[in-house]
Structure 1
Amino acid sequence: MSEIKRRTFLNGPGEQLLLTSDPMEYITRFDAFVDASGLPPEKVLATPLSAIPLPVASKGAFGMPERWASADPSFMWHPLMWLPPHLALRYRYRVIDEDHGGTVEDTDIESDAMWAIRVALELVHSGLYNPDDGTWLDVLAYHGLDADNPVDQARVEMWLAGGADITLDQIDLTSIVAVPEDQEWALRAAADLVEVLVPAQWSMIAAGIVETVESQLEANGRSEETLRALLNIMGQVAAQALHDVPADPDTGIDYVDLIGVLTEESQTRGSDPDYLMNTFLEAIAEVAADYLPSLQALSDQQTLALDA
């Protein structure tokens, strides 16, 4: 091992890895991560539950994550590119049918939400990410390499392409991340948190969307052109960030379907963008209000933890 070097990337001092309130930052960080990492967009998960996008690994030989063949060698300093197998890959669950003698009926895979929460918990617990100063461990520097050195970049590039390298072959963050006496602590914690964090995030990001739209309209006016452009952009953001919000139990309205209709209609000549924008804001504000109790409950839990 070599020097302990830390770097900043996207996150700032005092920023936790769970929950995102700024819908535009959620999108711009995804673009920034894709650009910096060199990974294709389909190999990166953006969820407002996580303050940073997460690379989605594929399982290779012997159950190990495959190398990031398309990655930018200069970005391989980032610990997200070196997550150990238990963290880079999803857990699979046996689904037990309690009504038929407890037989195994099927297997299910860890959801995006559960995985994102688990990754965030282990990154912070291990020190790979430090929320106090918003820095990440430079994995390459930790193993004696310099991500900014062209010679070391060439070594990394050849290794990513499948070559052997005595140093890179041995990089394994398991000893830093794992808790040997309780290897599934983060899985249990994520299972406990997901029921509160997911609806709290819906409320938080929905309120952020409304605030962003209203701020933009106040700054730029409500011309048809502005309304159509803003509804097109924010409609796409809302559809992505709120894609798993359930349909309204009272009306049966599916929010994502409604957002899609409004967004598409806003680009149709002859439509009323002012009416469509108002309908869009009402629907998003309803999501924020419906799940506000979860956000308040989360805030109360944090307050109690601080007072304890």
Structure 2
Amino acid sequence: MTDQTPELQLRRGYLLAPGEGVIISSDLQLFVDRFTQFMDDTGLDLEDVVLSPLVAFPIPQAARGSDGKMLRWKGVNPAMFWHPLLWLPANIAYRVQLIEEPDGAPRVETNEEWLLRVTMQCVEAGLLDIEMGSWLDVLAFHGLDVNDERVQARIVLWCDGEEDAELDAIDLSPMFELFGPESDCAKNALLDHEKFQRAQWAQSADYLGRVCQDLAEDLAAGRDVNLTQETQRLGFLAAIGWLGGAVTDTGEPVDPQVQSLLHAANADEPAITLQEAIDFLMPLCAGVYQAHSEVLAQLAHEANELEAMVAAENRSAVTPDPGT
């Protein structure tokens, strides 16, 4: 690593607000807007990223070359190479094999399991500071200024296959030494996945239900609404919000119904009206929420208890001892 340039800022705020949680998205439209910004900023293709509102941001998924080595991000905006998600080491970035039963066959992590694990590992390794809402600037950490056009030109050439000793030397593996695939962090992510996923489905159902109610009120009041656009938006938000295999309280899978809504809303001549889309979604929202809301409430209760405990500890730390 080169000597760090004093004027370089080692952390950057990006997409996240200070103190904002990164697990479970309460606002699906905000999640979609951030996803759109990330794609615009990076220039990544859709097949290059994995997304789910279970995690507040999309994560690029590195590909392997024919030699088994991780491919460089050719064509990605060089100005975004400060972001640590573009520098994840292979043992973090690649999916891992999971064996859930002693005699069970191995399987590969699902999208949601992978997103949750990588996010928790990034937090534990210090790449993402939730309290500050900031990310490590990897290039600044290695003494390089991503805003320097010469550095950006080097990144482009390096991604095209040219050698660059300084860029070749960037390796975040030491930061993950205690938080690799076999760490408690990674294991806890797998153990917690189901409850977080179910909580997200309930949160998405609540959000979609409120959006449907607002649109129904707009229609009833005769307010100006872009009917086609809002119908398509409802279908898209439902498809995003219930990724990962959401089911209703009767055990009915949601995805086939959401896909039929998307197809009808996005046909050359839409085959469903906005009111019909609202009427279609409201029972699904109720069924999904009924199935998973208890988990969401339990997580909220645990978060409140933890917040109260931390507040009590802080008060104790600043209260002088009367005996002193």
TM-score tier, shorter chain, comes to 0.7 to 0.9
Aligned match for 1:85, one of 83, 90, 111: 90
Aligned-partner SS, 1:136: strand
Instruction: Confirm or deny: 8 A CA contact 1:224 1:273 kept in the other structure.
Output: no
Q: Are 1:23 and 2:28 counterparts?
A: yes
1:107 matched residue in structure 2: 106
Aligned match for 2:12, one of 7, 13, 23: 7
* In 1, Cα distance between equivalents of 2:271 and 2:98: 51
Residue 224 to residue 145, structure 1, CA distance change in 2 (3 Å): closer
Instruction: Confirm or deny: 8 A CA contact 2:228 2:270 kept in the other structure.
Output: no
* In 1, Cα distance between equivalents of 2:271 and 2:191: 49
* In 2, Cα distance between equivalents of 1:214 and 1:148: 45
* In 2, Cα distance between equivalents of 1:120 and 1:68: 20
* In 1, Cα distance between equivalents of 2:197 and 2:295: 9
1:212 matched residue in structure 2: 211
Q: Are 1:290 and 2:291 counterparts?
A: yes
* In 2, Cα distance between equivalents of 1:95 and 1:183: 14
Instruction: Confirm or deny: 8 A CA contact 1:199 1:291 kept in the other structure.
Output: yes
Residue 34 to residue 214, structure 1, CA distance change in 2 (3 Å): same
User: What is the CA distance between 1:34 and its match in structure 2?
Assistant: 1.1
Percent sequence identity over matched residues?
Answer: 28
Aligned-partner SS, 1:49: coil
Residue 225 to residue 116, structure 1, CA distance change in 2 (3 Å): same
Cα deviations across residues 82-111 of structure 1 (Å, max 9, x unaligned)? Answer: 011121111113576x6xxx4x7x431111
Residue 263 to residue 109, structure 1, CA distance change in 2 (3 Å): closer
| Matching residue's letter, 1:107 | P
1:235 matched residue in structure 2: 235
Residue 141 to residue 280, structure 1, CA distance change in 2 (3 Å): same
Instruction: Confirm or deny: 8 A CA contact 1:65 1:89 kept in the other structure.
Output: no
Residue 272 to residue 55, structure 1, CA distance change in 2 (3 Å): closer
Residue 43 to residue 51, structure 1, CA distance change in 2 (3 Å): same
Cα deviations across residues 31-67 of structure 1 (Å, max 9, x unaligned)? Answer: 1111111111111111011111100111246654221
Aligned-partner SS, 1:18: coil
Q: Are 1:142 and 2:147 counterparts?
A: no
Matches within 5 A, 1:172-251: 172-179=171-178, 183-218=182-217, 226-248=226-248, 250=250
1:118 matched residue in structure 2: 117
Instruction: Confirm or deny: 8 A CA contact 2:22 2:130 kept in the other structure.
Output: yes
Instruction: Confirm or deny: 8 A CA contact 1:227 1:277 kept in the other structure.
Output: no
Q: Structure 2: where are the runs of 5+ without partners? A: 310-324
| Matching residue's letter, 2:98 | Y
Aligned-partner SS, 2:85: helix
Q: State the TM-score, normalized to the length of structure 1.
A: 0.87
Aligned match for 1:46, one of 42, 47, 51: 51
Count of paired positions: 301
* In 2, Cα distance between equivalents of 1:188 and 1:235: 34
Q: Deviation above 6 Å: which 4+ runs of structure 1? A: none
Residue 29 to residue 145, structure 1, CA distance change in 2 (3 Å): same
Cα deviations across residues 177-199 of structure 1 (Å, max 9, x unaligned)? Answer: 22079942222111121121000
1:160 matched residue in structure 2: 159
Instruction: Confirm or deny: 8 A CA contact 2:91 2:181 kept in the other structure.
Output: no
User: What is the CA distance between 1:218 and its match in structure 2?
Assistant: 4.2
User: What is the CA distance between 1:299 and its match in structure 2?
Assistant: 1.5
* In 2, Cα distance between equivalents of 1:142 and 1:184: 25
* In 2, Cα distance between equivalents of 1:152 and 1:287: 49
User: What is the CA distance between 1:260 and its match in structure 2?
Assistant: 2.9
| Matching residue's letter, 2:206 | A
Aligned-partner SS, 2:165: coil
Q: State the TM-score, normalized to the length of structure 2.
A: 0.83
Residue 292 to residue 174, structure 1, CA distance change in 2 (3 Å): same
